[in-house]
Chain A
Amino acid sequence: MSALPRTGVPAPDRAAVLARVSWPDEDNKIPREIFTDPALFGVEMDAIFTGPVWVLVGHEAEIPSPGDYKTAAVGTIPVIVVRGADGAIGVLVNACAHRGTRLVEGPAGNVLRGGFRCIYHMWTYDTSGRLIAVSMPEDFPAEFRKEDYGLPRARVERWRGAIFASFSDAAPPLREYLAEMTEGLDRVLGDGRLRYLGSVKVVFHANWKLYVENIYDGYHVTALHTGFQVVRLRSHGGERLVPNYERQGHLWGRSRSTPVSQLQPALRDMSLFETRTKPTTDHNMMVVFPSGVVTDYFDTIQLRYVVPLDVERTLIEFTFFGRADDAEETLRHRIRQGPQVLGPAGAITLEDIAALNRVQSSAVARGENVVLKGTPKRFPPYRHVDEAPIRHLYQAYRRLMGFDAARPR
C-alpha cells in the first residue's frame, strides 16, 4: 500500500468539531446534529472510511477479464477497481499523481492495452498503479523518478469474490474483521462464482449513516413497507446478529418469510415475492461496516455500495448478480425480480427513500433520535423485528470517531 495523503481535517480542528456534538448519556439516543454538520462529515471520511475498516467496493464478477476495471469510491475518495493482466485485483486512487486529474470517467471499461492515461499531460499508469510513461520529461528536476509517482493503492482483500479495500494499515486481516459475518456472506455469495447482471443507482437525500442504520433496523420493515402488509408477508422467526459488535459492529439479519403460496395474491404476478433457488425462504440482510450491504432476499443476490456524497446526500448503487451456473430460466427470474422489489423503483424499497428523505429534512430540528425496540436486551442476538442493533452501529461509530464511549443505559 502506498501512503494515502491525509487531506482531511487536522487533529486540533477535529477535536473542536467533535466537541460541538453533545451525545446523550444513554446509548440509545442519537444527536441529530451528526446528520447535518458538514465539518463532522469531513472528520467521518477520514476517521471512518480511511480508518481501520474494510470498505466493500465490488465483486470480481463485475470485472471478470484481465484489464477490466470499474470506478467506485471509498467514502468520498474516487477509486478504480481493476483486474490486472495476471488476474490480481487492485484498488487505485482515481487521480493522477501529477496534477490530480481524474484518470477514468464513466462506470467501467478495459485497459489491457494502454493502461490508464491521463488526458492532461499524458502520464500513463499500468493496472498496478505504477507510472510507466511520462510525456516530454526533459527539464524535469534531475531527481525525478517514475517510481516515486505511482497511484496511491488501497490494501485489497476478497471474500467469496467480494472485493474489500482499506486505506489503513491498522485494519485487521479481512477474515478477522468480518468475524462470524463470513458465515452469512457464504450463504449469499456461495463459492463466489457469480454473474454480474447490472446495477441501478439512486441518490438518497439523507446522510449516509441514516441509510446504514435503516438496514440495522428491523422495526421499520412491517411498519413502513405497506406491500408486505398487502400480501401478508411476514417473518416466521429469525434474528438480528451484530457480528464483531465489540469492535466494528456489522449487521446480520436473517429470517424466514412466508412462502409465496401462502401470500395474499394481491398482485397478478407474485413472482416478485417468490423463492425458487433455495430450499427454504430463509434470507440474509447484512451490512459489512461501514458501507457494504449484502443480501439474498427471495432469489435476488444483491450488493449495495453506500457512497457518501456530502452531509445530506448519499449515492446507493444496487448491483444484481446471478450464479455462474444458473439455468437460463433462473437467470431470467432473477432479472425480473431483483430491481422490481429491491431497487429504487422497487415495490419494497421506494418507501425507504421517502422515509429517509424526511428524517434528513427534519434533522435540523436538533434534539435526539431514539432507539427503543429490543433495547431492554443489552447484547445480540436480537429479534428480527428489533431496532436495538442500531446502538451497536453508533458504538462502533463513536469509537472510531473518538467520541467518548457511551455509558450503558
Chain B
Amino acid sequence: MLRDRADPAVLREAALALLTRYVRVVDDPRRLEEWPELFTADGAYVVVTRENVERGLPVAIVRDDTQERIQDRLTVIREFWGAGGRAEDRHYNEAWPRHLIGPAWAEPAEDGRWRLGAHLAVYLTQPLDGSSRLLCVGCYDDVVEFSAQGPRFRAKTVILDTPVLPDIFVYPL
C-alpha cells in the first residue's frame, strides 16, 4: 500500500498528480468517462458559492454527494444535455472548458488522508464566435485518500468566489 510506505514527499507528489489528472480529464470532454474513476466509492463532488458557505446556507449549485450521483452526472451530460448521447444534436456543450490552476498545495490530514487545495479560474471558449469568457473563479478544497489503486478524491469541493454565474456550465469544474 502506497499509504503504508508513508513517504510524505511521495504522497504529496501523488496527490498533486491526481489534481493534474483531474484537470486534464475535465478539460477534455472526450475523456469524461474517466472522471468518476477519480473518486473513491464513497466520494463526493460538490460545487458551492462562497456566499452560501459564509452565510451557513446549505444549498449547493451541484451536490453529487455519492458515487451514484457522480456517475449520474455523466448520464445527464451525455444523455440529457447531449454531449455524445441521444440528444447530441442539441449541443448545449459546445463551449470548450479550460481550467487555469494557480498555486496548489497538499497537506497530510487525519487517518492517512491528505488535504488538497488549489486556486482556479475556468474559461469557456465558444466555437460560434471564437470568444473566450471567464466562467468562474474559486478554489478547490479537497480530501484525497490513498489505496492500493493510488490516490482518489474522497471529496472534491469547488468553492466559487463568483456569486453569479455568467453562463451555464455542462462539464465538471
Chain A residues in contact with chain B, CB under 8 A? Answer: 107-108, 196-203, 205, 226-227, 230, 266-269, 315, 320, 335-336, 338-340, 343-345, 347-348, 350-351, 353-354
New contact pairs (20) apart from A107-B163, A268-B72, CB-CB < 8 Å: A108-B55, A196-B57, A197-B57, A198-B57, A201-B163, A201-B164, A202-B165, A203-B164, A203-B165, A203-B166, A226-B79, A230-B79, A266-B75, A267-B76, A268-B68, A269-B69, A343-B61, A350-B81, A354-B92, A354-B168
Chosen A-B contacts, 24 in total, with CB atoms closer than 8 Å, are A108-B55, A197-B57, A197-B59, A198-B58, A200-B49, A200-B165, A201-B164, A202-B166, A202-B167, A203-B164, A226-B81, A226-B87, A227-B79, A227-B80, A268-B72, A335-B58, A335-B59, A344-B168, A345-B47, A345-B61, A345-B62, A351-B81, A354-B90, A354-B168
Chain B residues in contact with chain A, CB under 8 A? Answer: 47, 49, 51-52, 55, 57-63, 65-66, 68-69, 71-72, 75-76, 79-82, 86-87, 90, 92, 163-170
Cα distance A203–B168 when bound, in Å? Answer: 9
* Chain A residues near B168 (CB-CB < 8 A): 202, 344-345, 350, 353-354
B164 touches which one: A197, A205, A315, A347 (CB < 8 A)?
A315
> Given that A202-B164, A353-B168 are contacting pairs, would A320 and B72 also be in contact in the complex, using a CB cutoff of 8 Å?
no
Cα distance A197–B61 when bound, in Å? Answer: 12
Are A230's CB and B59's CB within 8 A? no
* Chain A residues near B57 (CB-CB < 8 A): 196-199
Number of cross-chain contacts by CB at 8 Å = 100
Q: What 5 A-B pairs come out closest when comparing CB atoms? A: A198-B59, A198-B57, A268-B68, A227-B80, A201-B164
Q: Nearest Cβ distance between residue B134 and chain A, in whole angstroms? A: 13
* Chain B residues near A320 (CB-CB < 8 A): 59
Are B164's CB and A226's CB within 8 A? no
Cα distance A108–B51 when bound, in Å? Answer: 10
Q: Nearest Cβ distance between residue A316 and chain B, in whole angstroms? A: 10
Q: Nearest Cβ distance between residue A392 and chain B, in whole angstroms? A: 29
Q: Nearest Cβ distance between residue B26 and chain A, in whole angstroms? A: 14
A197 touches which one: B58, B68, B81, B92 (CB < 8 A)?
B58
Are A199's CB and B52's CB within 8 A? yes
* Chain B residues near A198 (CB-CB < 8 A): 52, 55, 57-59
* Chain A residues near B68 (CB-CB < 8 A): 268-269
Cα distance A227–B79 when bound, in Å? Answer: 7
* Chain B residues near A268 (CB-CB < 8 A): 68-69, 71-72
Cα distance A227–B90 when bound, in Å? Answer: 12
> Given that A108-B55, A197-B57 are contacting pairs, would A230 and B80 also be in contact in the complex, using a CB cutoff of 8 Å?
yes
* Chain A residues near B164 (CB-CB < 8 A): 201-203, 315
Q: From A228, which residue of chain B is reached at the shortest CB distance?
A: B80
Cα distance A92–B86 when bound, in Å? Answer: 50
Cα distance A268–B90 when bound, in Å? Answer: 24
Q: From B87, which residue of chain A is reached at the shortest CB distance?
A: A226
Q: From B81, which residue of chain A is reached at the shortest CB distance?
A: A350
Are B80's CB and A226's CB within 8 A? yes
* Chain B residues near A266 (CB-CB < 8 A): 75, 79
